[in-house]
Structure 1
Amino acid sequence: MRKTLITILKELKRILSVYLEKYDQKLPYIITCIIALIIFIGGFNLFIELTEHLKSETLATYDSRISDLVVNYRSPGWTKYFVFVTNVGDTWGYAIVFTLCSLLFYWIFKSWKYFLQICLVMVLALGSNILLKKIINRARPEAEHLVSVETLSYPSGHAMTAMAFYGFLIYLVTQFPLRKTLKSLIIAVLVLLILSIGISRIYLGVHFPSDIAGGYIAGLIWVVFCIIIFNLMTIFKRDPTI
């Protein structure tokens, strides 16, 4: 991602130098931020498209079929697993994982940078999820709930925060100087966790599959947007001249 941004910035500087004798050195960064914003808006348009079809018969059919398929696998063993996984994707689960990751990052890098970045990603994801739930106002499934829930249904807060938090962790892992085997293993575990948290909400009867899809899309939008902005900030600080 950083190499791509550097290439874009260099090309923008080259183009600007051809057409403008003098220009503000911040201009290439402003243009890149605008491009990032366009990508962000495009992603949200995809999210809105899905939202507009929430009441369609086609989506209702898919929701029903997928939910029935997942619920058919209910058993004591799977129920224990998915209750555990859904708790990992809840407040106390994130508090524990977040604290451990922050301490680990500080111990290795002697900096709170990654702590602040993850904080921002989570605040954006949680804040927008609360807002979206209130705006869309979709009720929970009427099926049996195996865990208690109090908020509205769409988009899934568990799916959205799992994608935002663990998705951003996946990005950080790809940047760390680790052995390929260890890196691949960590990424595989995090991907499995993201998928398991989403499936757990369907299995436990508290979400429609489309709630999970919407949560994943919204969470991924924030991850991509934040990665672009964080990298731009890093490049800008080091600039002269890239």
Structure 2
Amino acid sequence: MKLANKKSSTSFIFLGTGAVVAILSVWVFFELGDTILADERFRFDTLVNGWVDQWTTPAVLQWMTILTEFGSVLWLTIVTIAVAIWLYLKNESVTAIVFFGLACASGGLLNSLLKQVFQRERPIILETVDGTGYSFPSGHAMGACIIYGLSAYVIQRQMKNTVSKVVLIVCTILLVTIVGLSRIFLDVHYPTDILAGFSAGLVWVLTALSIMEWRRSVRRRRQLLSSYS
């Protein structure tokens, strides 16, 4: 009984923390969006682009061309399918697997919708690295945040070792950050596009995780009640 209460308390703490982070992310996104709709410039873009220019070399650009593919639609689709198969092999419920797939796929639809709403033009068009269409928010940044974030969550649920969980989370954050930076180095996105992509993606991830945690909490309570009935 104490263990069940502890797990329930942990779920509520997770949901509460997630709600705070989600609210902050929504605020950041709409602050950026409001400025873009007003057709104003960002000092943040100028500062970050200035820093990026100092580190830009042919070798760095070659690496960024490779690393940016980790945020491409094709690669993220492969990751989603691979994780879904892994969940099936781990005997996860069909409902959980379907929800994971829908959460990943619908994030892409949300990004397309947001691009149509804000219609911000890119710094340059570069088809070789998927640098086409509207710029805000970054599809690579948002997609990487959603797919890798949700994948890391469902994978770490199966891990027993705390150190392994921490390593997975840190690697996930680094990978998502690198994908975002690659878009700035390749000059196909403004830094604020990336920041908006991360913000929108984080909100989407936290919403999906909150639903997952809520479902797990309800299922645990039902199991607990049935064991005492």
- TM-score higher than 0.5 here? yes
Q: Which residue of 2 aligns with 1:29?
A: none
**Match of 2:129, SS?**
coil
Q: Which residue of 2 aligns with 1:56?
A: 40
Q: Which residue is equivalent to 2:174?
A: 192
The CA RMSD measured in Å over matched residues stands at 3.0
CA distance in 1, matches of 2:63, 2:91: 34
Whether 2:56 is the aligned partner of 1:74: answer yes
Unpaired runs of 5+ residues, structure 1, are 9-31
1:3 is aligned to 8
- The 3 A distance-change label for structure 1 pair 207 and 181 is same
Structure ID, larger Rg = 1
Structure with the largest fraction of helix: 2
SS where residue 181 of structure 2 aligns?
A: helix
Q: Shift of residue 132 of structure 1?
A: 0.7
1:88 maps onto 2:70 in alignment:
yes
Residue in 2 that maps onto 1:20: none
Letter of the structure 1 residue corresponding to residue 210 of structure 2: I
Letter in 2 for 1:118: F
Gaps of 5+ in 2: 1-5
From the superposition, tell whether residues 107 and 225 of structure 1 become closer, same or farther in structure 2 (CA, over 3 Å): same
Cα displacement (A) at 1:164: 1.0
Q: Counterpart amino acid of 2:87? A: F
Question: Matched residues, percent identical?
Answer: 26
Contact 1:159 1:212 in 2 (8 A): yes
**How many residues get paired?**
214
Q: State the alpha-carbon separation in 1 of the partners of residues 185 and 114 from structure 2.
A: 23
1:206 alignment partner in structure 2: 188
Relative distance call for 1:137 and 1:110 in structure 2 (3 A) is closer
Q: How does 1:110-189 map to 2 (within 5 A)?
A: 111-142=93-124, 147-189=129-171
Pairing 1:34-49 to 2, within 5 Å after superposition: 43-49=25-31
CA separation of 1:205/1:104 partners in 2, compared to 1, >3 Å: closer, same or farther?
A: same
Q: Partner amino acid for 2:166?
A: S
Alpha-carbon distance in 2 for matches of 1:147, 1:82: 10
